[in-house]
Amino acid sequence: MVGIDSYMNTYLDRRMKFLIQDWDLATRQDLGTFEARLKAVEETTSEIDIFEAEAEDKLGALEARLKNLKEAKK
C-alpha cells in the first residue's frame, strides 16, 4: 500500500497547488513575505506620485508655451 499512499499524497499535493492558484489563496510562505512585498508596493506608489507631480508640472509648462505660441501667432 506504500505505492498508493505515495500516489495519493502526490495527487492531493498537486490538486491543492492548483486550488491555491485558481482561487488565488495565500500560503504561509506568502504571509511570511507579506510585509516586504507591501513595503515594495508602498515605495513604488510614492515613486508614481512623484512621477505624476513632475508630469503635471511639465504638462502645465507645455500648455503655457502652447498658449504663448498661439498668442504670438495672432
Give yes or no for a contact between 22 and 29, defined as CB atoms under 8 angstroms apart: no
Give me the pLDDT at residue 45, please: 92
Q: Give me the residue spans of the domains in the chain.
A: 1-30, 33-74
**What does residue 24 show for φ and ψ, rounded to 5 degrees?**
55, 50
Give yes or no for a contact between 46 and 52, defined as CB atoms under 8 angstroms apart: no
pLDDT along the chain (74 residues), means of 10: 80 89 84 88 91 96 94 83
Give me the pLDDT at residue 2, please: 62
